[in-house]
Chain A
């Protein structure tokens, strides 16, 4: 199994080494993550698969800078985020600039229209409104939902909403995209369509994409898969089936 360690540490993408997370203290302590190593290169889309209770969500939350790991190292987009301690206090800006989230459900902000939903993050980062909206429109066009640019999220179909949420994740050009069960509610055709988009966007914007999933429909499409079991990850080559 090809492993990427050390040599790619300074590159963009995701590098995780020896990540450990313990919940609680003393007798009631639970070691959710024992030792996790992962490497994802820019433009790569890897799967993260595991049964429930395996620490999948914990790993995602650590990667997403939502919870603090106990020890280890995380490098995202060439920037060391965590090295036995957060490198910076402002996790929110960290997330805003470095990580794009794609959720199980679209979770669009209902009181912003589609364009503004996508343009929100660049605006928060300080980009002028017109420019942010222009970029949003760009992404929406890429994702083939530009004709819905002025609509409210409630007026869109499920698939359109999902595509908008992907556009939102990409709006700030983050080096990392974390997707949590993005295809769970979709049928196989839609699921494959989403994977096609993710792959295309990953390559186009050179983002490292981790997809947490247990959806059998798409698992065969990954070239590489990380299995997580009892707090450890095992890398494995995927089938890499073509998405067409």
Chain B
């Protein structure tokens, strides 16, 4: 027995291929949406992995430093370093801001780090790590910066001395690493106009501007422009200790909050991404319905165009099962072409998306199964019509 479906497809292959490609683009969009969700989760995982930390110590009763703002004194790290089970502890600051290079601007998360300690980028793709204590930066390639560029952050210019890949914030913004002191200044020190304004206000305050106490006003102004806060302390735990063992005393005696990897994942993935996940889930459902409708319509149209042939086939003795099988095979063939085109398209255009799109093979297989199922269901409409065709129509009248 020959494959009627196969012959029909071969005969009208341009139409079939084009239809398959159109369907494929729709499937590609669906796969990309799933990839966007996976990418968001992966962004969060990458953020946590790249920080090189086992514990995140933040301000008490906050869920920072990524989901909420958190502020600690920068000398808290010394107390933590001395606790048992702590291999390394480092201050770190995070600030989302625009970074300028010439006339371009890029949105980035500026991270203040202490080189060689948790929080600093572990692997580079070009250049070198930070060696100077000020005015150097390591940027992620997603910012578009290259080695040697001079970028402007807040009040100073920085030279890009190293590049990283896939170092992003949980929101997908690329990271720019600068020395901690510069980052503290960037985060907590304001622009010149604001500083001048503050000075004027302090001078006008009689509590600080007492005539009999020279030097009081200067001291008050100096204390305003110094910054001694950080957003979090990242801790690496010694081998042989569990993160919880180290976290518990920090919570109790240091009056700070400490989260381990699982806790941070919960905050980022379950809470921060939850709304986006729901949105994407809705999109996927809608796209699946639309795909089903389109496949149903296409197969229906193709079948309607073959009513006469179906009548003749039935007349000369082709069984309903053979005809139904032909339609079903065509629908599945369309689905298969669509899936291939869709997966190819999604893989090719994924890097162009502004956010990270992660296409998992398991998602692709699931998508294939769903596509086949949808095609099978969508073909039932056409199959119903084909079965109802009266062979007598072949004999005109």
Contacts and interface: CB of A to CB of B under 8 A. Distances in A.
Interface in B304-335: 308-309, 312-320, 322
The dominant DSSP class at the B interface is helix
Nearest to B311: A107
A107 B312 CA distance: 7
Contacts of B315: 64, 66, 95, 101
B302 to A, nearest CB: 11
Nearest to B10: A111
B392 interface: yes
B386 to A, nearest CB: 13
A152 B320 CA distance: 25
A interface bracket (residues with beta carbon within 8 Å of B): 20 to 34
B91 to A, nearest CB: 73
Interface string A156-178: 00000000000010001000000
Contacts of A60: 395
Contacts of B11: 110-111, 152
Contacts of A121: 316-317
Given A116-B7, A123-B2, A129-B1, A109 B395 contact: no
A66 B391 contact: yes
A37 B315 CA distance: 24
B392 to A, nearest CB: 5
Contacts of B12: 111
Nearest to B310: A109
B396 interface: yes
A147 interface: no
B280 interface: no
Interface string B274-290: 00000000000000000
A63 B161 CA distance: 91
Contact of A92 (B1, B318, B392, B395): B318
A123 B1 contact: yes
Contacts of B88: none
Contacts of A172: 317
Given A107-B312, A111-B10, A124-B322, A61 B317 contact: no
Contact of A109 (B312, B314, B322, B392): B312
